[in-house]
Chains A and B, each alone.
Chain A
Amino acid sequence: MNDDQRSICPFCSMGCSLLLRSPTRAPYVGAAGVPALGYDADAPVNRGSLCAKGNMALELLTHPARLESPRIRNPEGELVKASWEVALEDLGRRLKDVVARHGSQSIGLLLGPTLTNEEVREAAAFARALGTPHVDLCQPEDHVVLEGLTRCGGRPQRVESVTDIERATAILVAGDLFTMAPCIAKPVLHARYDNRQNVVGTLGFWKSRTYLFGKPALRCLAGREAAALALILKLCLGAAGVEQPAWAPTARTMLDGLDLEEVEQLAGLSLADLDWLASSLRNAEHGAVLFGCGYAESERLDLAAGLSALVAEATGSRFLAMVGGPNTFGIHETLRDEGLPPTEGLRSAEMLAAAGTGELKGLLAFGCDPVGAFPGVVFQDAAAKLPLLATTAPLMSPTAETAHVVLPAGTWGEKAGGVKNAFGHDDTLAAVMRPPGTARTDSAIFTALHEALGKPPSDAAKPTPLAERMPAEAAPAFFHELELYLRLEGREERAREIGTHWLFPEAGASHASDGWLTGPLSWPAHEAPGPVVALSPGHARDLGVKEGDRVRVRSRDAEARLAVRIEQNLVGDVVLVPPHHPETRRLTGWRLDGIVRDLDLRPERVTVEALEVATGEEEA
C-alpha cells in the first residue's frame, strides 16, 4: 500500500517532486498531524534529490510565525488583528475610495511566483471586475530573463527531462547554476564523469561551485557573461547539420561588423579560449545549454539569457533556462492566455516606480513581497507612500509590515493547483493540510474580495488571448541592442561609475537563506544568521581586516555595516553579499529602465572601508 502524496517543491522553477508521507505510515518523524517528507526516487526531474531549501518545505506548514488572522492598520498606524469581516470591509472601503477618487486604473495587482495557474486566472477575473489592466508577476529577476528569451527570437528545443542532460556529450552552463538550482547538478555531473571525452563548459566570473566543475572552466570578467556568450555564438554559427535559424543572417552581419579584439577585452576571454567548447557544441549529437545566471549576476541578464538560447538553437542543442519562481513560466503563460499584460498594463517594476511618483494609488500584492523583492531605496520607499497597500501572505514580510491590510494566506501544501516548471511540464501541487487558524487560500480570498466589492467575477469582458509574442522584428531589435552593449554602451558609463568594487548579490548559503518565505525557517537561520560581505583574501589583506570584522560597504544610494567573510575562491574586484537581507538589498540601487520597461539590472559599484575599531563604531 502506498499512501504517499506526490507534490512539487515550492522554491524554484526546477519543479522537483517530493513525497508527503502520511503520519500514519512508518518511517515517520514530524510534528503531530503533519506529513513527513519523502524523497521521490522515481521523479523525472530530480530523481529524489532535494536541495537544502526543499528539505525545509514542510516547516512552512507548521511555522510558529505563520499568520493566522487578518491584520488591519488602525488610525494610530499600528497593525492590529481583526476578523475577516472587518478586514475585508476595511479593504473594500479603501479600494472603493481609491477607485472613486482616482479611477480603477490607479490600482495595480502583483502576483507572487508561488500562485497556481488557477489562482492567476482568478486574479485576472478580479482585475477585470475591478477594471484595471495592471496585473503582473512580481519576481524582478525572472522578468528580465523571460524578456530576453522572448526578444531574442530564438526557438531552441527545450530540455524535456534530465535524460537530455545526462546523455549530452557537450554542455554549456552559463552562470552559477548549482547554487541556484542544486538539483540539476546530478545529471550535469553524470555527463561530466560518464565519459572522459564529454565537455562540460562552465562560464562564470568567480570560482563558484558551478565554475569549479567545468571542463573547460571559463572565467569572464565580472558581469560580462553576455559578451562571452556573444563570442561563443560567433563561433557556433553555421554548425554543420543544423538548419539555419531565421535570425542567423542578422546575427552574422552584426557579429562580423564588430571589432573582435574589443569584445574579447570586454569579456576578458579570447576566441581561442572558447574554441574547444564551441566546436564541441557544434559537433555534439546531443548538446545542452543550461542558463542559470541568477540574482543579477550579469550586467545584462536579458542579453545573456537570449544569447544562450541562440547558442543552443545554432548548435541544435537542448536549452534550459532556470529562474527563481516556482511557477514563473506558468504565470507568464496564464497571463498571456488571459489577454493581460505586458502589452497595455504596467509591469511590476513600473508599478513600483509609479507608486513612488504617485501615479498609482493602490497596490494589491497576492502571495508576494514587492517591498522585499525589489532591491534599492527607490523601490523600497515607494511602497510606503501608497494610500492603499494590501497583501496576502503566509508569513510577515517587509510588504506586510508596511501594508494597510494583511490577509493570512495558505501556502504550498495547503492548496491544490497547476504549475509549470522550467522543463515546460505541467504539474500539480497537492493539498494535504488546511491553512492554519482562519487563514484562507488565495483562491478563497479572491472570492471574498468579489463579495466585498459587490462585483461578481465575469468572463464577459475577457479579451482574446494574445498570440505568442514572436514578432518578426524582435530578433533585429535584440541584435541592435547587443551591438550597442558590445560597442560602447557602458564603456563611458563605466568610466563615470564611482566605487572600487563590483557588488554581486550572491554569497555563501544564499540558497539556504533567500527570500521572506524561506528566511524564517530553521536551517537558514542556523546556517546564515546575519548579512555578511564576502571579500577575496587579497582584498581583505589590503583592508587589514580578518574574518568576522565589520566593514562599511557604501553604494550610490545606501550604506551598510557588514561582517566580513573571506571567500578563497573569489577573485578580482568583486564582493558578494547574500541577496535577501534587507541591509544588503538596499545596497543594490536598481532603477527602472524606460526603454525596456523593466529593471536595469546593472551590478552596483561599491566602496568597502574598514571600520576604525578605536571609535567604537562597530557596535552600531
Chain B
Amino acid sequence: MSQAPVVTKRIVLDLDRCIGCRACGAACHVGHNNQTNLVPGKIADVAILPVHCRHCEHPACAGACPCDALYKDEMGFVRRSEILCIGCRSCEQACPFGAIPSEFVRGVAPKCDLCIDRVLAGGIPRCVATCTSGALSFVDPKETIGSPSYVGGRIQSRGMTRRP
C-alpha cells in the first residue's frame, strides 16, 4: 500500500458569515452514524457557531488520553480509536478549544475525523459541503494566515509574536 498523503487542509470558520443554522452539526450527525463530532459553541447567547477539532500539531487530547486511543496519524489527522477509547472524558477536559463534544455516543468520545472517507476520495468534509452560508471552508491554514483579513496577522504586525 502506498504512503497516505499528508493533508494540511483544515476546517476554517468565517465568523462574519455563520448564521447559526446548525446544518454542519446535522450533516456530521448523519454522516457519522448519529455521533456529532463538533461542538455547537455559544457566544454569550448572541450566536451559535460550530467549534471544530483543529487537528493540532501537538494535540493535548492525545497527551491526556490514558489509553493511547487518541493519536496523530501519518496524514496529520488526530484520530480516535473506537476500540481503545474507554470514555473517561480526559480529552474533553484537556482540549484547549473545547472541541470534544460532551455528549458521548456509544460510550466513546466523539472526535472529528475530518470526514476521512470523503477527503481521501478528493472531497471536502460534510460540514463544509453542507454549510448554508459559506462560513466554513476547507483550506490550508497558511492561506488564511497570509490573507489581509486575518486578524492574527494584524496583531503580529504590531510586534506581538507567537511563542515558539
- A498: min CB distance to chain B, Å: 31
Query: Within 8 Å CB of A190, what residues of B?
Result: 134
Query: Within 8 Å CB of A213, what residues of B?
Result: 19
- Cβ of A601 within 8 Å of any chain B Cβ, yes or no, is no
Chain A: CB-nearest residue to B28: A55
- A515: min CB distance to chain B, Å: 15
When chains A and B are docked, how far (Å) is the Cα of A58 from the Cα of B22? 18
- Cβ of B16 within 8 Å of any chain A Cβ, yes or no, is yes
Contact B30 A59 (CB under 8 A): yes
Contact A27 B19 (CB under 8 A): no
Chain B: CB-nearest residue to A48: B129
Taking a contact as CB atoms closer than 8 A, the residue among A39, A189, A522 that contacts B134 in the complex is: A189
- A42: min CB distance to chain B, Å: 12
Query: Within 8 Å CB of B118, what residues of A?
Result: 27
Contact A49 B132 (CB under 8 A): yes
Query: Within 8 Å CB of B126, what residues of A?
Result: 39
- Cβ of B1 within 8 Å of any chain A Cβ, yes or no, is no
A27-B121, A190-B134, A569-B46 known; A527 vs B16 contact (CB < 8 Å): no
A27-B118, A39-B129, A41-B129 known; A189 vs B21 contact (CB < 8 Å): no
A26-B117, A39-B129, A568-B46 known; A523 vs B32 contact (CB < 8 Å): no
- A39: min CB distance to chain B, Å: 4
Taking a contact as CB atoms closer than 8 A, the residue among A29, A50, A193, A568 that contacts B132 in the complex is: A50
Contact B19 A185 (CB under 8 A): yes
Chain A: CB-nearest residue to B103: A526
Contact A186 B130 (CB under 8 A): no
Q: Interface residue count for B (Cβ, 8 Å)?
A: 34
When chains A and B are docked, how far (Å) is the Cα of A212 from the Cα of B47? 10
Contact B19 A568 (CB under 8 A): no
Taking a contact as CB atoms closer than 8 A, the residue among B21, B27, B31 that contacts A511 in the complex is: B21
- Cβ of A578 within 8 Å of any chain B Cβ, yes or no, is no
When chains A and B are docked, how far (Å) is the Cα of A56 from the Cα of B120? 24
When chains A and B are docked, how far (Å) is the Cα of A99 from the Cα of B83? 65
When chains A and B are docked, how far (Å) is the Cα of A183 from the Cα of B26? 14
Chain A: CB-nearest residue to B119: A27
- A517: min CB distance to chain B, Å: 16
- B6: min CB distance to chain A, Å: 20
- Cβ of B76 within 8 Å of any chain A Cβ, yes or no, is no
Taking a contact as CB atoms closer than 8 A, the residue among A28, A189, A569 that contacts B133 in the complex is: A189
Contact B134 A51 (CB under 8 A): no
A186-B133, A186-B134 known; A52 vs B23 contact (CB < 8 Å): yes
- Cβ of B152 within 8 Å of any chain A Cβ, yes or no, is no
Chain B: CB-nearest residue to A37: B30
Chain A: CB-nearest residue to B133: A185
Contact B30 A182 (CB under 8 A): no
* Binary CB contact string for chain A from 493 to 513 against chain B (1 if under 8 A, 0 otherwise): 000000000000000010110
Taking a contact as CB atoms closer than 8 A, the residue among A51, A56, A522, A566 that contacts B21 in the complex is: A51
- Cβ of A93 within 8 Å of any chain B Cβ, yes or no, is no
Contact B121 A55 (CB under 8 A): no
Contact A55 B129 (CB under 8 A): no
- B125: min CB distance to chain A, Å: 10
- Cβ of A590 within 8 Å of any chain B Cβ, yes or no, is no
A39-B130, A182-B132, A189-B134 known; A50 vs B27 contact (CB < 8 Å): yes
* Docked complex: A173-211 residues within 8 A CB-CB of B: 178-179, 182-183, 185-186, 189-190, 193, 209-210
11 A-B pairs besides A29-B31, A179-B21, A185-B21 with CB distance below 8 A are: A27-B120, A46-B132, A50-B132, A52-B26, A55-B23, A55-B27, A178-B133, A182-B133, A186-B131, A213-B19, A522-B34
Q: What are some 13 contacts across the A-B interface (CB < 8 A)?
A: A26-B117, A29-B32, A50-B130, A56-B30, A178-B21, A183-B132, A185-B17, A185-B19, A186-B131, A186-B134, A509-B22, A567-B45, A568-B45
